[in-house]
Structure 1
Amino acid sequence: MAKAILNLETLACPTCMQKIESGVKRMAGVDSDSVKVLFNASKLKATFNEKETSLAAIQKTVEDLGYPVLKAVEKASS
């Protein structure tokens, strides 16, 4: 498992946060319980199985929902 941390453009409303969370939670390979969008920090954190999906796929999902990703970092999960 790996951890994805995405810095997003400033989120305008809590509905944006919910849209991003639900979109990423539906992805195959993403641990839905780990998906958290930090509204004030404009960050998304999620744990995923790198054999099933990738940081790039998570970033694409968020961008396809209409939210630009400023920076995406993958960290090995301990």
Structure 2
Amino acid sequence: MKSVTLQLETLTCPSCIQKIEGALKGLDGIDPESVKVMFNSSKAKVNYDEEKVSIEKIEKSISRLGYKIEKSKV
């Protein structure tokens, strides 16, 4: 398992957290227990299996919801 921290654009409402967490937990290869979105810092942290899911796929699942990813750090 690898861990990634995604810096998102500024989150404007607490319901954003639920949307992003739901999208990430739905991806194959993501450890659902590790998904954490932090409202104040606008970051998402997740543990993932790089053989099942790529950083690009993780980013795309968030982008599809309308949130911009500013940077990713593995």
TM-score, shorter chain, exceeding 0.5 = yes
1:19 aligns to what SS in structure 2? Answer: helix
Equivalents in 2 of 1:71, 1:31: separation in Å?
A: 21
What is the identity, as a one-letter code, of the residue corresponding to 2:72?
A
Shift of 1:54: 1.1
| Alignment correspondent of 1:16 | 16
Summarize the alignment of residues 6-45 of structure 1 with structure 2, pairs less than 5 Å apart: 6-45=6-45
1:4 and 2:4 aligned: yes
Query: Structure 1 segments of 4 or more deviating over 4 A?
Result: none
Shift of 1:5: 0.6
TM-score after normalising by structure 1: 0.92
Shift of 1:46: 0.2
Structure 1: gaps (5+ residues): none
Q: What is the RMSD of the two structures over their aligned residues, measured on CA atoms?
A: 0.5
Equivalents in 2 of 1:9, 1:57: separation in Å?
A: 18
| Alignment correspondent of 1:52 | 52
Deviation by residue 1:8-57 (Cα, 9 ceiling, x = unmatched): 00000000111000100000000000000000000000000000001111
TM-score after normalising by structure 2: 0.97
Equivalents in 2 of 1:2, 1:56: separation in Å?
A: 14
1:70 aligns to what SS in structure 2? Answer: strand
Structure 2: gaps (5+ residues): none
